[in-house]
Amino acid sequence: MRTALAACFLVLLAGCGGGGESGSPPDVPAAAVREAPAKVRAEGTFAFAATYVRQVPGQPDETYLTLTGAVDVRAASGRMEADLSALFEGLGSSEEFEEPIELSWTREQLTAVIEGEERSLPRAQAEENAGLIGRLPEEPAALVELLGRAEEIRRVGEERVDGQPTIRFACSVDARRAGAAGVPAEVAPAFAQALYGPRLPLEVWLDGDGLPRRIEYVIRLKPLTTGGKQVLPARAVRTAYDLSDFGEPVE
């Protein structure tokens, strides 16, 4: 009897003594994936940290771009720091960025601080003519909104993201729709023409409130050549956004 009582007491201390305990997997249906954008809009804001990882067969994975920032989805504004130093090293470029690029934007304007020099452009002009830097502000909020158009949704498993129990789902969205929205930021114009196939595969981790705690996509890129010389081989890029601080003010 003492042994049974002791075992029961240990179970209770461990937080495993029944359903609804903190840390138990959330009960999230697949339909929640398409409802996630509305959940985020209701919160109004979120913070994010993103990593872009280059995967080449036979070589170790390489993180070549990192982002941190926050978005006000109602005001279509936000800020981020983008560390592009490893990206330009990988391309063999003479460009050097010792400090992260600071970006801030409103609905009408994008401002970039590059090596201490501030530059501003109308938002539409930046998206059209400023390459990756001009498109990066589009991606965080657009990636969330794309979940509302998710198809082929299937549950993958249960995982913890930043200590939060989540349900992981795999899905996909129309490539043209993704590209037009600015996802993936690196090759959005090509995706808008479905040059990389008809679908963009996504994975999303939802918490018990139906909020996306992580969103990932994978794209497969052809070899990159410059002046007839191959700079990068055929590769996959896995981009992961971790979302947090929903509803917190964006400074």
109-114/77-83 β-pairing: unpaired
pLDDT tens figures, 163-177? 999 999 999 999 999
pLDDT at residue 8, as a whole number: 37
The yes-or-no verdict on residue 7 having pLDDT over 60 is no
The yes-or-no verdict on residue 155 having pLDDT over 60 is yes
> What residues pair up with 218 in beta bridges, in sequence order?
238
Model confidence at 180, in pLDDT bands (50, 70, 90)?
very high
pLDDT tens figures, 21-56? 456 778 889 999 999 999 999 999 999 999 999 999
152-181 burial code (b ≥16 CB/10 A, e <16):
ebeeeeeeebeebbbbbbbbbbbbebbbeb
Which whole number is the average pLDDT over 92-119?
Answer: 84
164-174/151-161 β-pairing: antiparallel
pLDDT tens figures, 188-238? 999 999 999 999 999 999 999 999 999 999 999 888 888 888 877 888 999
Rounded distance, CA 23 to CA 19, Å?
10
Q: What is the pTM of this model?
A: 0.84
pLDDT at residue 6, as a whole number: 40
**Structural domains of the chain sorted by starting position, each given as residue range(s) with its CATH number in brackets:** 27-244 (2.50.20.20)
- The burial class, CB within 10 Å (0-12 / 13-18 / 19+), for 236 is middle
> Please, are residues 205 and 212 in contact by the beta-carbon 8 Å criterion?
yes
Which candidate, 37, 101, 41, 102, places its Cα nearest to that of 75?
41
Model confidence at 61, in pLDDT bands (50, 70, 90)?
very high
The yes-or-no verdict on residue 92 having pLDDT over 80 is no
